[in-house]
Structure 1
Amino acid sequence: MKVRDAMTNDVFVANPEHTIAHAAKVMADIDCGAIPVGENDRLVGMITDRDIAIRAVAEGKGPDTRVREVMSSDIKYCFDHEEIDNAARNMGDQQIRRLPVIDRNKRLVGILSLGDLALSRENGSANEALAGISRPGGAHSQSADSHAV
């Protein structure tokens, strides 16, 4: 099964100049925990509810803080034509729950989440990814000092 067959393809893309209040509202409205960030038709980052909590609120930043200031710019992604088992293995190895999906032209076409894997016909992929994601990690990368802008 290909990633394109399991991914969510209706994806909101935040702008780096949006406020974190706007990003949080969108997350609440569409019931998601992560939003890709795009600028000039390029994927430049991801912002998660955890980024907002750890890199903004915990650091005393207010709701008008720009997405650019707290997003993760080290983006992991997969291709829509990739086998789902390969993407799931990468999610587990990298301990991430969501991957932006790009096409051969490097345009964002969707998001592949752990939930998408669980709902796919090949839900053994979800077990593999979950096992890797649940493995105790090393130093956490959510601190304000550890992300590039």
Structure 2
Amino acid sequence: MKIREIMTTDVEIVRAEMPLREAARLMRDVDTGFLPVGEEDRLIGTLTDRDIVVRAIAEGRDPDTATVRDAMTDELVFCYEDQETSEAAQLMAERQVRRLPVVDRDKRLIGIVSQGDLATRTSDDDLVGQTVEEISEGRGRTGPA
């Protein structure tokens, strides 16, 4: 099964200069803990609710003056829409992330695939179980969520 068949295509992209409070409100309003960060339609990073808490709030930054750039993960981990779901699952497990931005072959952001998408939209229970287990093994660190 291809990533394009299970990914979420309704994706909010935020600017790196957006205040963190505004990004947090957007997360609340669209009910997500993950936002891709972009300039135009190019992915430059990701922001999670955990990034906001660990990299900004816990460090004493003011969410009204701190920006998305101050807390985002700029190490890009993504998959292509035409890759197999098993490849995305392997990448999630290796990088211990629960969500991956999905790009086309021109590297334009077109969606997000999550651990939940793999669990609910594929029929490979072994793949899902192994992916969840491997992602969960490294949750004690403070890297991308």
TM > 0.5 fold call:
yes
Q: TM-score, normalised by structure 1?
A: 0.89
Q: Deviations over 1:47-106 (max 9, x none)?
A: 100010001100000112110111000010000000001110110111100000001111
CA distance in 1, matches of 2:133, 2:142: 18
RMSD across aligned positions (CA):
1.5
Task: Give the superposition deviation at 1:123.
Answer: 4.2
Structure 2: tracts of 5 or more residues without a match = none
TM-score, structure 2 as length reference = 0.92
- The question of whether the paired residues in 2 share the 8 Å contact of 1:91 and 1:99 is answered with yes
* Range moving further from structure 2, 118-127 or 11-20: 118-127
Q: 1:19 aligns to what? A: 19
Structure 2 equivalent of residue 29 of structure 1: 29
Q: Unaligned 5+ residue runs, structure 1? A: 143-149
Give the deviation of 1:139 after TM superposition: 4.9
Change in Cα spacing, 1:139 to 1:24, as seen in structure 2 (3 Å) is closer
Determine if contact 2:38/2:44 at 8 Å carries over to the other structure: yes
Listed as ranges, the matches of 1:1-149 within 5 Å are 1-64=1-64, 65-124=66-125, 125-136=127-138, 139-141=141-143
Conserved? CA contact 2:96–2:138, under 8 Å: no
C-alpha contact (below 8 Å) 1:89/1:128 kept by paired residues? no
Number of positions where the alignment pairs a residue of Structure 1 with one of Structure 2: 142
Residues in 1 aligned to 2:118 and 2:72: alpha-carbon distance in whole angstroms: 24
Aligned to 1:147: none
